[in-house]
Structure 1
Amino acid sequence: MKISNYILIIISLVWLCGLKAHSQQIDTAKENTAIKQLIKNYEDAWNRHDPKGLADNYTLDATWVNWFGAYYKGREDIEVHYQQVHITYFKATHYYTRAVEDITYTHPDVAISHVRTGLDGDERFPGQTFEFRRMIILVKRDGVWKIFAGQNAKLEKGIK
């Protein structure tokens, strides 16, 4: 083969790699909006004290670790947990999102986000407001973003 054929092959391979990378680029503004809407839907369901509405934000095979370290596996388990706590100590709580700190895409259908939240009205801690940082892994399945896994960490005073 001539050198020009090698150059043509190399240029073709580079072009194909660029085509694949281009086809996997995502519209982050659109996807960020959809993920932020999911976060808002979660907040709204919490404040309605709607266990099914909360669980609907998770994939069927999701996992969740709460701020005390309890582990829940699967949407059904997560919903049962929300049913239990929203008729007891969380029944009068108010949950709010302070900020979506970041959204990072590891793949067009996988994102990691850190979300600052707060909670007041927990009957176990009268008069106290708590701040949290939630780390959530989101997946887009059938065109819809859902929580695949996450963990909630209670922030100590002075933590930014």
Structure 2
Amino acid sequence: MSDEVLVVGTVPRRTREAVSAVVKALEGAFNTKDPVALGEQFSTDASWTNAMGARLDGRKAVTEFSAPALKGFLSDSYARYDIVKVLEVAPGVVAVNVVQTPTDAVGGPAGGPWGSALYVIAERPDGWKIVAGQNTAVNTPAA
């Protein structure tokens, strides 16, 4: 997490590192087109709204939707995920704003839609997981 991240509240370093790891793992899964690894970043009971506006309930639904999407219409899409804000909602619960910048397959600049996402990441028995969130496609860089 860079120094440009706005941190609101008392968010312990361990928590910032944990949520950053979730975001980076999600980015890695998206870029390698691995629906199982992508789904593993979500809690089993997550509520997720994707960039197309579809609500997916639970890790299984996220994984099942992602498998054909990553191999199909998203197969040539890559992105860098940058955390821009971390807000402590409660102990062990953090809201994270992420800007998704389109890249090519090796991480260089590319055209295409940007993304603006909000992840609510919470500490669960199986680790830090996205419990709720929404991804929004935008035509210009997200603020």
Fold similarity call, TM over 0.5 = yes
Q: Indicate if the aligned counterparts of 1:120 and 1:130 stay in contact, CA closer than 8 A.
A: no
Aligned to 2:76: 92
Count of matched residue pairs: 130
Counterpart amino acid of residue 55 in structure 1: G
More helix by share: 1
Q: What is the SS of the residue equivalent to 1:67? A: coil
Are positions 1:129 and 2:91 aligned together? no
Counting aligned pairs with the same residue, the percent is 21
More strand by share: 2
1:50/1:104 CA distance change after superposition, 3 Å: same
Cα 1:82/1:159, change in 2 over 3 Å: closer
* 2:40 equivalent among 31, 56, 59: 56
Cα RMSD for the two superposed structures: 2.1
Q: Deviating runs (4+, > 4 A) in structure 1?
A: none
Secondary structure, aligned partner of 1:32: helix
Alpha carbons 1:51, 1:79 under 8 Å: kept: yes
| TM-score, normalisation: structure 2 | 0.82
Pick 1 or 2: higher relative contact order, CA cutoff 8 A, min separation 6. Answer: 2
Provide the C-alpha distance between the structure 2 equivalents of 1:100 and 1:82, rounded to a whole number of angstroms. 22
Unaligned runs of 5+ in 2: 1-9, 105-109
Alignment-derived partner of residue 40 in structure 1: 24
Structure 1 or 2, whichever has the larger Rg, is 1
Structure 1 spans left out of the alignment, 5+ residues: 1-25, 122-126
